[in-house]
Each structure stands twice: as C-alpha cells, then as structure tokens.
Structure 1
Amino acid sequence: MADLKGINLAMQTPFDESGAINFTVFEDLIEKYIAAGVHGLVLGAGTGQHPYLTEAECNHLYEVGSKRIAGRCNVICQTSALNMDEVIRRSRHAESVGANALMILPPYLEGPSDDDGLFEFYKAIDAAVGVDIVGYNIPQATGISVSPQLLGRLMKLKNFNYIKDSAGDLTVHQEYLQFGGDVLNGADTTTIYALMAGARGVIWGAANYMPIEAVRLYELVSAGRCGDALTLWNLMLPSLLFVWRAPYTPAVLRAAQIRGYGTGNVRRPLRKLSSEQETQLLQALAPLDPEIGAAPREQAIA
C-alpha cells in the first residue's frame, strides 16, 4: 500500500495557445512542485483537464510524468472513463508506467448510483489492478454520493485503500474517518479542518498556485501548531473562496500563471476568466502575495 499522506498536488496540464500539451512546461512544473516539497503529484486530475484529454494523451502524460518524477514523490494517475473496459485499460497502463495509485470516479453518467452497483464497479477494477485505488467522492459534479456505509464495504477490497472527498461536507468527511480508511480531502475550503480532523492528506487543485504554502500548512498541522496554521490559512482563504465559486480550473490555472507556475491556458470547452473575474482574482490573491495585489493589472499579467 502506498502512503499518500501530505500534499498530493492535483497537477495542471499546461497547454500552449493552440491547445496542445506543452511537455517542456509540464516537466518544468514537476521540478518546481517537487522542489516545493509536495508529497505526491496527481497527473490527469480534474485540474489537469482530464475530461478534455484523449486516452492517448493521458497515457503519454503519465509516461512522461512518471519518468520525470522518478520516485521522488508519489504518482497518482486519474484513469476515470465512462466505458468500463476503458477504465481498466487506462488503469493497467498507468500502473505499468509507475503509478503508485489510481484515482477513479464512479460511473457518473447514467451508470449505477446505488451502493451495490457502485461496489461492483470498483470491485471489478480492484480485481484488475495491483496498486492502490483512490475512490473519488464529488457529488456536485457526478450526482453520486459515496455513503459512509459503502466506503466501509469498499475498504475491504484488496486495493481500495483511499477515498478523495471533494464534497465539502465535514460531517460526512468525519463519518468516513470513523470507518478507519485513509481519507484524502479534496474540498479546497475545508482543507485545514479536514487535516485537523485526521485526514491522511489532500488532493489539492489550488496547490498549483501555492505549493510552498500548501506544504507548510500540512507541516504546521502535523506538528500540532494549529494557531500558526490558522494564521497561514487566513492568508490562503480569500483565494480559495474565490476559486471554489468561480469557474474552478480556469481560476486555478490563471492564479498559477500569475505566481509563476504554468501557461494559464485552458482547453476548449473551458474558457479563460473574464476581465471582472480577473480583477477579483488579483484581489483575492493579495493577502497571500501582496506584490500581486499592489501591481497594476498589466504588470501582473506579464
């Protein structure tokens, strides 16, 4: 079983202006994030625009990423798909190139949504792979909630050892923790509270633009320095509240670009932020990075 504690950064996929993956920037970002101290990188995460990547693109992304990471932190690959055979095929490929774990959504479009159907879905994948499976609870996007009772059943499978909980419901999150499984928080605005409650770690999209601060937050909570952690958290929170309510991926990628991480480009059908949203983002980043808040808009964009 892989130890997925700490900050697992849900890594962006950098694109050029034409919408092609820029692998030079991708490998540079890996180096920057590892230097910041992240404990894992999630390749092809939602923040990495997984729904808009082809299977071939995902496979190549995982090959390049795993080779570049070279064991310096954990590699988690999202292998979600609507077709069951494709999920297994993607999963086996990711495992073959070095993934430590696989992040997999439930069958979210007109698939089974009852506990028995979801259990059979993950059971079939569990039997097909030999690395950890991270289930993914994000009901606001899938319309499917993984109940605490279902999680208890899933945790008895050989490889289903983690769940990423992006729902933002701290009550359910703590119910998950009662079942003894390892829970990874995925709701940006509850991160500090989930860590204090006992989450093993996080899979965090917003860490794309503040990897150093994200790692520091985890270290402070782990050391029991909750007062210091809350002081840091209050600097992070305005931007987290903004990206959580804004178009999420475009906001995170633009914030990352502003702070020197990536190109800020999105792939269609996603769109960049509007001018009004851009201004709001700069204001939200100011507590975290006062120089951004003080800079003229043109300077910040440059």
Structure 2
Amino acid sequence: MTTARPLSAPFGRALCAMITPFTEAGALDLDGAQRLAARLVARGCDGLVLSGTTGESPTTTDAEKTELVRAVRAAVGDRVPLVAGVGSADTRHTVALALAAEKAGADGVLVVSPYYSRPPQDALEAHFLEVADACGLPVMLYDIPGRTGTRIEPETMVRLAGHPRIVAVKDCAYDLLGTQKVLSRTELAYYAGCDEQILALYAVGAVGYVSTVANVVPDRLRAIVDAFDAGDTGGAARLQRQAMELIELLMAAGLPGTVTAKALLDDLGLPAGPVRPPLRPAGRGTRDALRAAHDRLVSA
C-alpha cells in the first residue's frame, strides 16, 4: 500500500543544504563543490540548496555565490533543481543576488528573513514580495527565527502564498501548530529544515526536507521519506530514530552545523575544507564522536 501525497514538491523531496567547500587556503573550491554535488545526487538527493546557512553565505562574496551555482550546474546538469540562497539583511542586495542566481542557472531562490534589523510583519511581507516581483524564479521562504530574530508569522505566510512565485517554505520555526495552520490554508510546499523533524513534518503534509545532515548520509535520510511513501510508517519511524544520534551531534551539540558537517566530511575524505572566520574548526574530540556516530549509523 502506498501513501498518496497530493501536494507538489517544486524542488524535489530530498534536498541537501550543501556545504561550500574551500581550499586549505580558504578560497572557493569549485572542483570540490562539483565532486560533492555529484556524490549527493548519486546517493539520493533530488535537489540541492546552495549558499544557505550551511553553505556559509554570510562569508562568501556575491561573485563566489554566482560561481558556485554555475559550477554545480555544470556538474549535475538538469538532473536536479538547484535552489540558491540569496537572503541578506538588505532588500536591494537580496534582489541583486536573486537576479544573479537566475542568470547563473538556478531553478529557485531561498530567501531568509532579513536579520538584525528585525522588521515588523508588514515590512517583512513587503521585502519578500519585492524579491518575488523582481525575479522570475520560484521562491522558497526561509523561516528560522532562532537565527534571524524575526518569525514569519502564519498569517503573513498565508498572505505571501497569494504571490504566484512564492511556492515553498523551509521551516525551522519549531512551531508544529503554526505550520499546520499554514498547510491547511495554502498550497505552500513545506520543507522540514531541522533534521530531527523530517518525519514529523512529512507526516502532517510537508513535501520533503532541506537537510544539513544529508551532506554526509544522504541515502539514510532519503530512506525515511521513501519508507513513509511506501506505507511503511513504522519503518520510517525506525529510520528516523536510527539517525537521531548523528543528527544531534551534527546539529544540537553546541556547534553550527556547518562546522560539524565539514569536520565529518573531512574525516571521511570528502570535499569540505576549513570554515571561514568567525567560525572555527571542530576539535579532535568532536570529530571523533561524529565519526563514531556516523559509522554506527551506516553499519546499522
């Protein structure tokens, strides 16, 4: 028995919030980005998000963001959608980044709430509408108040859903009730943005996930939604629980997911490189714990 999912997934179901590989000298590693992207697609990702939080967007230049889209597009072709992170604290800058991403070959843009200035809801709504009006690409809103300081309130989401190019949400709001309220009143495609909530949000109507942990175990996370879609809800729950040790160490152990994901990728011999300051690399103890949890998961 299969589970019907009437909602469309405009960017795929299993998306990775890809890290941005750097060389040991700290420069953009386009060859490494291409190799990592190809590996992610081969192991089950049907969409990639570039230059998001995990991709260290605050410390990459506009030119680097554009180069990254072009390089990854060359590596994966048209096999999967590419969503480019274009959010900033400045509406004009965000519009410029969105137009550059469109020209570089992105299939969509991820737009985070402007941070630091903490705009009220009417200003926040105007910001997203200006970006959507200026760019021809579909827009994924990024609701992560723990980082930006500003929630995209459910009523604001409902109004924004009326724009034809605002089609999706990366949900890191930790508000299951608010998410269900929007799902019940709009056709927005919700993506779980917190790995521990992949199955929970998928079960109530999300169309997929945007995952940091997928950088290292893309097939393991894809298996969760595959099992659910096949009607094996018990198996999906078991797979989600099996991944929880690694999810917690990567995402909830006091270090940003960028730091921990790059540490584990590096330990596995995969493209990563250093993080850019002010972030600092993970210590040996953290790296050892990550590798041990990874090895337990893949051998389960």
Flag whether TM exceeds 0.5 (same fold).
Answer: yes
Q: Which residue of 2 aligns with 1:269?
A: 278
CA distance in 2, matches of 1:55, 1:245: 29
1:77 is matched by which residue type in structure 2?
A
Alpha-carbon distance, 1:54 to partner: 0.7
Structure 1 unmatched ranges of 5 or more: 292-302
Q: Aligned ranges for residues 288-299 of structure 1 at < 5 Å?
A: 288-290=297-299
Q: Which residue of 1 aligns with 2:129?
A: 123
CA distance in 1, matches of 2:9, 2:103: 15
Give the match's secondary structure for 1:288.
helix
Alpha carbons 2:143, 2:152 under 8 Å: kept: yes
Q: Which residue of 2 aligns with 1:221?
A: 228
Give the match's secondary structure for 1:15.
coil
Query: Does 2:79 correspond to 1:72?
Result: yes
Alpha-carbon distance, 1:283 to partner: 4.0
Alpha carbons 1:162, 1:183 under 8 Å: kept: yes
CA distance in 2, matches of 1:91, 1:2: 21
CA distance in 1, matches of 2:291, 2:40: 22
Give me the identity figure in percent: 26
Alpha carbons 1:209, 1:253 under 8 Å: kept: no
Pair 154,58 (structure 1): closer, same or farther in 2 beyond 3 Å = same
User: Which one of 165, 168, 172 corresponds to residue 178 of structure 2?
Assistant: 172
Q: Aligned ranges for residues 110-259 of structure 1 at < 5 Å?
A: 110-112=117-119, 114-180=120-186, 181-246=188-253, 247=255, 248-259=257-268
Query: Does 2:26 correspond to 1:24?
Result: no
Alpha-carbon distance, 1:174 to partner: 2.0
Alpha carbons 2:88, 2:115 under 8 Å: kept: no
Aligned pair count reads 290
2:134 is matched by which residue type in structure 1?
A
Q: Which residue of 2 aligns with 1:47?
A: 54
2:190 is matched by which residue type in structure 1?
V
User: Which one of 79, 83, 89 corresponds to residue 82 of structure 1?
Assistant: 89
| Greater Cα offset, 167-176 or 204-213 | 167-176
CA distance in 2, matches of 1:231, 1:154: 36
Q: Which residue of 1 aligns with 2:291?
A: 282
Alpha-carbon distance, 1:111 to partner: 4.5
Pair 233,258 (structure 1): closer, same or farther in 2 beyond 3 Å = farther
2:115 is matched by which residue type in structure 1?
Y
Alpha carbons 1:2, 1:132 under 8 Å: kept: no
CA offsets 1:177-211 (integer angstroms, 9 cap, x no match):
22222111101111111111110111111100101
CA distance in 2, matches of 1:35, 1:290: 20
Give the match's secondary structure for 1:235.
helix
Alpha-carbon distance, 1:83 to partner: 2.3
Give the match's secondary structure for 1:207.
helix
- Which TM-score applies when normalising by structure 2? 0.91
1:137 is matched by which residue type in structure 2?
D
CA distance in 1, matches of 2:189, 2:265: 29
CA distance in 2, matches of 1:206, 1:167: 18
Alpha carbons 1:134, 1:164 under 8 Å: kept: yes
CA offsets 1:238-285 (integer angstroms, 9 cap, x no match):
011122223121112222333443235212221111233233323433
1:252 is matched by which residue type in structure 2?
A
CA distance in 2, matches of 1:284, 1:176: 36
1:177 is matched by which residue type in structure 2?
L
Pair 144,111 (structure 1): closer, same or farther in 2 beyond 3 Å = closer
Alpha carbons 1:10, 1:205 under 8 Å: kept: yes
CA distance in 2, matches of 1:24, 1:126: 32
Pair 12,43 (structure 1): closer, same or farther in 2 beyond 3 Å = same
Alpha-carbon distance, 1:215 to partner: 1.6
Pair 259,229 (structure 1): closer, same or farther in 2 beyond 3 Å = farther
CA offsets 1:61-99 (integer angstroms, 9 cap, x no match):
112122322111011000112222211111011112221
CA distance in 1, matches of 2:172, 2:138: 19
Alpha-carbon distance, 1:290 to partner: 4.4
Pair 95,2 (structure 1): closer, same or farther in 2 beyond 3 Å = farther
